[in-house]
Amino acid sequence: MESQHVAEVFTQLYGSEPEGVWAAPGRVNLIGEHTDYNDGFVMPFALPHVTVAAVSRREDGVLRLHSQDVPGGPVELRVEDLAPGSDRTWTAYPAGVVWALREAGHALAGADVHLASTVPSGAGLSSSAALEVVVALALNDLFELGLPGWQLARLCQRAENVYVGAPTGIMDQTASACCESGHALFLDTRDLSQRQIPFDLADRGMRLLVVDTQVKHAHSDGEYGKRRAGCERGAALLGVDALRDVPYAELDAALERLGDDEEARRLVRHVVTEDERVERVVSLLESGDPRAIGPVLTEGHASLRDDFRISCPELDLIVETALAAGALGARMTGGGFGGSAIVLAEEADVPALTKAIEAAFAAADLTPPRVFEAVPSPGARRLR
Ligand code: ADP
Ligand code: MG
């Protein structure tokens, strides 16, 4: 994405040059799925795909929002009128950020914003967090709020949960705000402590592919709520605040306590083993053995498919085909029921692997998936 071009369009729209241009990336979660609302561990890294914002301050209480990716001219709002639930369109995301910042006591008198993005929307790669974080970072800089990345992420999550009305954990916004190039981010979603873990695959002759099924099965939103409620029920049955508090070493005893409550047993087993997989991936990467994470990713897929039950035929087909074609590991990523899978592979195997996946989709009469390479990229930043 050319920051020069985004600045030029801003100038055409609003009649003067922007004060600055910022970028925030989409993300992929390497491991740690459906752990974030259980106070557990996640491990996302940032994509090269970014949402770019050209922004100038205003002092008159007006917020103007425009996106290259949505038809129509700028939308004009008054910052005083911003209220949760009042907006069901895309502008709720950036307006929600302004609302959350103001509600936290930061004086923001208004802004002109123009956005353009290369993050695929609705593919489970978090275009919504990229949009929120880029706006938050721009306002943080322009109004000299001095907030650190993790705090901007919190405010963006609040914007999405309360203003937009979408229940999401803290992972996406923290990833977009805090990731570093060549690293994955080990994040404890309970206390928000984080550690940058070396994850430079190209250096080691490996690649990580994202395979976007381009499908989203219709029932997926309701299923997210059901899994979340099911995990809360499991925690209550076990007498803990969150499933994060069940140590891996005590999993068998916990499952025994759940008796013949099959649903609770499955959900608890996924969350507790998934937290353990994140810790295993961290220690393998820190000890310089990135190839060895492949089987852990594949185990994670089996757990999401069999215990958490949020995979779908397209995602299973990608994983099975990739493994049969020599991948080191593969798993679905994101909310499930569509969206994307990730495949870890030797560089030399990538062309054959990609062909095998495309052929398997064609043979099953499915829409061809979009395959691209995910290079661990920098988090949100100012471009000019
Ligand atoms: P994901 O975050 O997985 O891409 P979401 O449903 O959480 O999917 O967020 C997608 C929504 O975010 C879009 O429907 C749109 O409202 C908003 N959005 C994301 N990127 C842009 C953009 N560049 N311009 C306008 N709206 C955007
Ligand atoms: Mg999203």
Residue 259 scores a pLDDT above 90:
yes
Q: Are 362 and 153 in contact (CB under 8 A)?
A: no
pTM for the structure as a whole: 0.96
pLDDT score of 194:
97
pLDDT score of 329:
98
Please write the tens of the pLDDT for every residue from 324-367. Answer: 999 999 999 998 999 999 999 999 999 999 999 999 999 999 99
| Contacts of residue 66, Cβ cutoff 8 Å, sequence gap at least 6 | 13, 73, 74, 75, 113, 114, 115
CA angle 50, 123, 101 (to 5 degrees): 55
**Closest CA to ligand 1's atom 16:** 90
Residue holding tokens 């949100």? 380
Q: 216 - beta bridge partners?
A: 338
pLDDT score of 1:
72
Query: Which has the closest alpha carbon to 67: 108, 144, 119, 27?
Result: 119
User: Which atom of ligand 1 sits closest to the CA of residue 168?
Assistant: 7
Residue 219 scores a pLDDT above 90:
no
pLDDT score of 305:
98
Of the pLDDT bands very low, low, confident and very high (cuts 50, 70, 90), residue 220 is: confident
The number of angstroms, rounded, from the C-alpha of 358 to the middle of its chain's C-alpha atoms is: 25
Q: Extract the tokens encoding 107.
A: 């004086």
Distance CA 35, CA 56 (A): 38
Residue holding tokens 């390497």? 30
Ligand with minimal distance to 119 CA:
1
Distance CA 218, CA 338 (A): 9
Q: Are 98 and 78 in contact (CB under 8 A)?
A: no
Distance CA 193, CA 285 (A): 18
Q: How far is the CA of 44 from the centre of ligand 1 (A)?
A: 18
* Distances, alpha carbon 28 to alpha carbons 47, 67, 118, 384, in Å: 7, 23, 14, 26
Q: Give the DSSP H or E segment for 72.
A: none
Q: Are 184 and 197 in contact (CB under 8 A)?
A: yes
**Closest CA to ligand 1's atom 27:** 90
**Closest CA to ligand 1's atom 3:** 124
Phi, psi of 340 (to 5 degrees): -120, 160
Domains of the chain: 3-197 (3.30.230.10), 199-373 (3.30.70.890)
Choice from 90, 91, 173, 337 to test ligand 1 binding pocket (greatest atom count within 8 A of CB): 90
Please write the tens of the pLDDT for every residue from 91-118. Answer: 999 999 999 999 999 999 999 999 999 9
Please write the tens of the pLDDT for every residue from 150-182. Answer: 999 999 999 999 999 998 889 999 999 999 999
Q: Report the pocket of ligand 1 as residue ranges, CB < 6 Å.
A: 51, 67, 69-70, 90, 93, 115, 117, 121-128, 131
Residue 255 DSSP SS3:
helix
- Name the percent of the chain in helix, strand, coil, to the closest 5: 45, 20, 30
Q: Are 239 and 246 in contact (CB under 8 A)?
A: no
Distance CA 63, CA 78 (A): 6
Q: How far is the CA of 225 from the centre of ligand 1 (A)?
A: 20
pLDDT score of 167:
86
Q: 114 - beta bridge partners?
A: 54, 66
User: Which atom of ligand 1 sits closest to the CA of residue 339?
Assistant: 3
Q: How far is the CA of 176 from the centre of ligand 2 (A)?
A: 11
Phi, psi of 276 (to 5 degrees): -65, -35
Is 172 annotated as catalytic?
yes
Q: How far is the CA of 88 from the centre of ligand 2 (A)?
A: 15
Q: Please give the single-letter amino acid code of residue 119.
A: V
pLDDT score of 317:
98
Distance CA 319, CA 30 (A): 14
The length of the chain, given as a count of residues: 384
Segment 205-215 mean pLDDT: 96
Residue 216 scores a pLDDT above 90:
no
Please write the tens of the pLDDT for every residue from 39-90. Answer: 999 999 999 999 999 999 999 999 999 999 999 999 999 999 999 999 999 9
Full DSSP string of 23-68:
EEEEEEESS--S-GGGT-EE-EEEEEEEEEEEEEE-SSSEEEEEET
Burial string for 22-51 (b: 16+ CB within 10 Å, else e) reads bbbbbbbbbbbbbbbbbbbbbbbbbbbbbb
pLDDT score of 331:
98
Residue 119 scores a pLDDT above 80:
yes
Choice from 93, 117, 224, 340 to test ligand 1 binding pocket (greatest atom count within 8 A of CB): 93
Pairing between strand 75-78 and 62-67?
Answer: antiparallel
Of the pLDDT bands very low, low, confident and very high (cuts 50, 70, 90), residue 231 is: very high
Q: How far is the CA of 187 from the centre of ligand 2 (A)?
A: 18
Instruction: Return the percentage of the chain with pLDDT > 70, whole number.
Output: 100
Distance CA 253, CA 246 (A): 10
Mean of all residue pLDDT scores within the chain: 96
**Closest CA to ligand 1's atom 15:** 90
